[in-house]
Chains A and B, each alone.
Chain A
Amino acid sequence: MLVFIARRLFVSVWVFLVATVVVFFLATNIRDPLADARQLPDQARASKIAEITERMHLDDPALVRYFRWLGDLLTGNFGKDREGQKVNAALDHALSATLQLIIGATVIAIVVGITIGVISALRQYTALDQSVTFVAFVCFSLPLFWVGTLLKQFLALDFNDWLADPEISPLFIGGISLITGLGCGALVVGDRRTRWAVFGITTVAMVALLIALSASEWFADPGLGPIVIALTAVGGALGFTALVSGLEWKPPLQAALIAAALGVVASLALDPVLDDPQLITLLGLAVLTALICGAVGWFLGGELYRRSAIPAAVFTGLFTGAVIFTDRMFQSFADYSDSVGGRPISTIGAETPNYEGTFWETGLDSFGHLALPTLALVLISLATYTRYTRASMLEVMNQDFVRTARAKGLGERAVITRHVLRNGLIPITTLVAYDIGTIIGGAVVTEQVFGWSAMGSLLFKGIEEGDPMPIMAFFVVSGGAIVVFNTIADLAYAFLDPRIRLS
């Protein structure tokens, strides 16, 4: 195993080095870096040309320049661009912006995409499955830059306008409710009558909810309040228990409910801490929540139920935390919205320049800027995960060992979670890794559409000026990520699939 890892790493390093050579030679040949200087008036021209030639070592052969660049890189120095600015400084800024975008979008796309794919596979050939498949195909075929611009135009501008007078039109209420109802009706297991009942109930409930929210102008000053938090937490407890072990066993359900109760009580007790926390405090609280809930599950689960009580409690605890987090964000919304002139969804840049506020307000600021680019990126990559997950699940579901699992007398949930999901998701892990190149490309386009100055700008600056240094910085990060993720994918595959582990 160790030999396998070592060999894989060795190959990866070589592949990466060869790739840097290829990119470097392409980058030195795209455009004449002196083109601008040659346009200058006579006296300035010669000195400018000499200056740039000196700075970019244009007199040296490309090979020499490559090795100089490589030497610098090994000391963590990305060199200087045509203007003599250090690339490192620009890279730091660009990378953090791009990472925000990519990480958020990828995580959402993976979680949502896989979930939809799994549900779609479990409900194969139903109306739900067919609509999901169709929507996935449409998303698959959308040009990212086109969608991004459309989102900017309609979602951001129109949403901000609407927020000034947040009243929902009856047509909209009807539409949203109908879609929610149809979605819930399609998800539910059961005969025609149960489906219609669920459809009716959810539609009516949604209409009532939206009318209430609209009348109280909730969207201008949102918030959940302790009662809604408590109800959501209990709902989460029931949901997670149903997923993990089913509701017929007492101990896991008790553990999850206690976790939910603890969360709600803690939110009240921690009120002063949560007013303007540090990120690190919140992370600490999350870890603490997981530990406490784990302990609750361990004690209540006893020897027989530990394996289901612990995850049920931990998931419920973290979910409750997330609900409380959302509530805090909501509470700060009115203040934030006022401070940015009532236009919380931004269409340009990664943050409001010079904005200062509490943790929640800066959080909302980031969210407002990230929302649309992330949505655009998610829409595009979601489809890939949905399609592959569905295909992978269906393939596993038709295999003999799933029939064996049923023949043992396992319940449907155990068959799906322990046999189908576990096997079906292994190839998805590699897909996620292989897809990183596409995501980087998508991020560059998105940044362009939404006017972010991030990794993409580095690349365009280099191409514009015929300057290899920013291009190489872009490549070291993006290509490095691709190589690292591909390596991880191969190793992860070997780790997850024992058949490969041994060979």
Chain B
Amino acid sequence: MTSQTQTAEAGTPPPPQAGDAAQGLNIVARSQGQLIRRRFFRHRGALVGMVLFFLVVLLAVSSIGWGPIPGWWDKDATTTGTVTNGGDPTLSVVPGFLGGGGVHLGEHPFGQDNTGRDYFALTMRGTQTSLLIAIIVGLVSTLVGTVVGAVAGYFRGRTESVLMRITDVVIAVPTLLLAGLIGVIVAGHGILLFALFLGLCLWTQIARLVRGEVLSLREKEFVEAARSVGTPARRIIFKHILPNTMGIIIVSATLAIASAVLTESALSFLSLGVQPPDTSLGRLITDYRTALSVRPWLFYWPGLFIVAIALSVNFIGDGLRDAFDPRQTRVRD
């Protein structure tokens, strides 16, 4: 809902058209892409979300490195050691002149666990895993959902009813049950496989959304025109229909990533998701949740990172939705 829509019924000027400049009229022509970008960047939440998300990714990847590439942080997530000062976090952000301990990271900024492992390194590893899983889940679920939705919406008839009944079956099984069972079955085969299967459980909403959009688009004149000159169905779907649903697909993909972070951490919390030796943010919380009264930082840090990721991605998604469709889309079959 932007302010334009409010005045649209009564007051907005006619839409600017290209070529007016030549006639001496002072109208700024804007392309669709420019409009979307402009609306996105005007969304303050989306901008803040974008910066926050970028910082989290940067911190997680650069600190402990990625795979064989080393990072700037000198400790790793597996080495145990002596617990100094009860494992208290050494991070300090209050400057000295305000009565704090000065701004510094210290030896163990996020503290240590009871075996002396550096909790900053652990949290960063958990963040990497959680982010990786979330992004794979987002991609897989969007891909499957888009294909199912587009095919069902375009071909209608038998294809549609079969695909939509399959969707209904997947919806009928609570996500937690389906993903949990699959999580247990693929446990021990690594996080990539787990992420792939989790993605295969979470595509139904996008499928319904895309189908609805395609159903209305296929009645539009430009699709009719393409069909009347004998364009093959595959080409119509990919060249004419899907580009026009790109907005809702991108928005859903973003929101899918946010909900994947939460789903993954919930599953890991229930020991149905990421299994040791891998770790994720949810896994860290469940591993250390009994420590809340003695070593609360072991509980806070991973939680804060989950919230930071989910919140920033949700804000980006909201900004994208405003940018692509100022009217707001909502889920309806």
List residues of chain A with CB under 8 Å of any chain B CB: 11, 14-16, 18-19, 22-23, 26-27, 29-31, 124, 134, 137-138, 140-146, 149-150, 153, 388, 391-392, 394-395, 398, 400, 403, 427, 430-431, 434, 437-438, 440-441, 444-445, 448, 459-460, 463, 471, 474-475, 478-479, 482-483, 486, 490
Contacts and interface: CB of A to CB of B under 8 A. Distances in A.
Interface stretch (B26-34, B212-220, B237-245, B258-266): B258-266
Majority SS of interface residues in chain B? helix
Interface in B268-284: 269-270, 272, 282
A431 B330 CA distance: 10
A490 B258 CA distance: 28
B172 interface: yes
Nearest to B332: A427
Contacts of B315: 137
B293 interface: yes
Closest 8 CB pairs between A and B? A141-B310, A441-B176, A141-B311, A146-B303, A19-B172, A26-B181, A391-B328, A15-B168
Majority SS of interface residues in chain A? helix
Given A27-B181, A395-B327, 14 more contacts: A23-B177, A30-B185, A124-B1, A137-B318, A140-B311, A141-B314, A144-B262, A146-B285, A146-B299, A391-B1, A391-B330, A392-B330, A437-B174, A482-B173
Contact of A440 (B174, B181, B258, B318): B174
Contacts of B314: 137, 140-141
B292 interface: yes
B289 A149 contact: yes
A394 B328 contact: yes
A391 B179 CA distance: 30
28 contacts: A14-B165, A15-B165, A18-B169, A22-B169, A22-B173, A30-B181, A30-B185, A140-B258, A140-B310, A141-B262, A141-B307, A141-B310, A142-B310, A143-B269, A146-B303, A146-B306, A149-B292, A153-B293, A395-B327, A395-B330, A398-B6, A400-B9, A440-B174, A445-B176, A459-B180, A475-B174, A479-B173, A479-B174
B175 interface: yes
B84 interface: no
B143 interface: no
Contacts of B175: 437-438, 441
A463 B180 contact: yes
Contacts of A18: 165, 169
B172 A463 contact: no
A23 B306 contact: no
B176 A153 contact: no
Contact of B307 (A142, A438, A440, A474): A142
Contacts of B178: 23, 26
B159 interface: no
A149 B299 contact: yes
A16 B327 CA distance: 35
B280 to A, nearest CB: 12
Contacts of A438: 175
Given A475-B173, A479-B174, A460 B181 contact: no
Interface in B1-31: 1, 5-6, 9
Nearest to A445: B266
A144 B289 CA distance: 13
A486 B331 CA distance: 14
Nearest to B292: A153
A296 to B, nearest CB: 41
A478 B177 contact: yes
B171 interface: yes
A145 B271 CA distance: 13
Given A137-B311, A138-B311, A459 B185 contact: no
A356 B266 CA distance: 36
